[in-house]
Amino acid sequence: MFLTSDSLNFNFIDEESCIEDLINNEVLYKHPKCVKCRKATYRYKKIWKCKGKNCNWSISVYNESIFTSSKLTANRIVYIGYLWLAKCPNNSIQLITGHSLATISSIIGNITVGAKTVQMFCALIYLCL
Ligand SMILES: [Zn+2]
């Protein structure tokens, strides 16, 4: 079943709530403990940071995800993926999003090629459930 954008309950506009959704649905990794010193961590915007006073460990929330390979924010990438799943041709996605055809082709290429496919589909499937 393909849900309309209104019934998805997903904010394609806001990166922060997209990140929160992707973390809660285990599409993006949580980093509850610092890899370096094992102290607790916290998330500040797009970065996981260690709470340890003398530890400067940090890592991007997008680390090892499909979202690292693009300059676009996760919400924009998920939106393009959603339009692609709805079978919009690339030139329609270009008109709707304002991104170049090269950018759209690159993102759809990432969705459809290799191991990253699984992760992207997980992201989109949970939206469509
Ligand atoms: Zn640490």
The answer to whether residue 1 sits within a structural domain is: no
pLDDT value for 12: 80
Residues 49, 90 within the same domain: no
Tell me the CA–centroid distance for residue 64 and ligand 1, in Å: 20
pLDDT value for 124: 61
Residue with tokens 């010193």: 37
What is the residue-averaged pLDDT of the chain?
A: 83
Tell me the CA–centroid distance for residue 118 and ligand 1, in Å: 31
Q: Which of 51-55, 106-110, 112-116, 117-121 has the highest mean pLDDT?
A: 51-55
| Residue 107 structural domain | 10-27+66-129
- The whole-number average pLDDT for the span 114-129 is 56
The total domain count for the chain is 2
Q: Give the model confidence (pLDDT) of 50-87 as tens digits.
A: 999 999 999 999 887 778 878 899 889 888 888 888 88
**Which amino acid makes up residue 92?**
S
Tell me the CA–centroid distance for residue 57 and ligand 1, in Å: 5
40 vs 75: which has the higher pLDDT: 40
Residues 121, 100 within the same domain: yes
The answer to whether residue 99 sits within a structural domain is: yes
DSSP state at residue 40: B
Least confident of 34-43, 82-91, 97-106: 82-91
The answer to whether residue 4 sits within a structural domain is: no
Residues 22, 59 within the same domain: no
- Is 10 in contact with 20 (CB distance < 8 Å)? no
Pick from 20, 23, 31, 32: which is nearest to 59 by CA? 31
Residues 88, 75 within the same domain: yes
pTM to 2 decimals? 0.79
Tell me the CA–centroid distance for residue 52 and ligand 1, in Å: 5
CA pair distance 23, 74, nearest whole angstrom = 12
